[in-house]
Amino acid sequence: MIVAGLAALVAGGVLALTADGSLGGVDLTAAGAAVMVAGAVLLVAGLLRLRRASRRAVARGPGAAPAPYRTGKGKIFAMIAVVVYIVSPIDLVPDVFLPVGVVDDAGALLWLVLAAGQEMARRRARPLEDG
């Protein structure tokens, strides 16, 4: 869900920022913005799933497997804040100041991709137990 959300967010952003005109009666800028928002929703839903623990808790004994990895609330909040920052038209550095205005969004997106990849790798290293 996270990968699909990131892909839709990037594809929608590229379409919204670079396409001009319409295709089959559909405004490409509006379509790009809609795809970007849908990607953001998918991404936020995927990030919130990182916090979930196993529904079937296993009794932990002396030789039991380690507890499943759960992403911290602060990191999830930071990742969601970055998604909102990327989608929001309000920026720290406005996009009209090229290239710096675009670089701040790209930097935020790069951090988000790296942080999400790191968290997904950590979860794969310590999978949730099924009981």
pTM metric for this prediction? 0.73
* φ/ψ of residue 74, rounded to 5: -65, -40
- Residue showing tokens 């929608």: 12
Report if residue 131 sits inside a domain: no
Report if residue 59 sits inside a domain: no
Report if residue 92 sits inside a domain: yes
Inform me whether the pLDDT recorded for 58 exceeds 70. no
Residue 54: band (very low, low, confident or very high) from pLDDT cuts 50, 70, 90 = very low
Candidates 114, 128, 52, 24; CA nearest to 78 is 114
Report if residue 64 sits inside a domain: no
Average pLDDT (41-63) is 69
> C-alpha 65: how far from its chain's center?
30
E strand or H helix at 22, and its extent?
Answer: strand 22-23
> Is 122:69 a contact under the CB 8 Å cutoff?
yes
Q: How many domains does the chain have?
A: 1
The residue segments making up the domain with residue 13 are 2-53+69-125
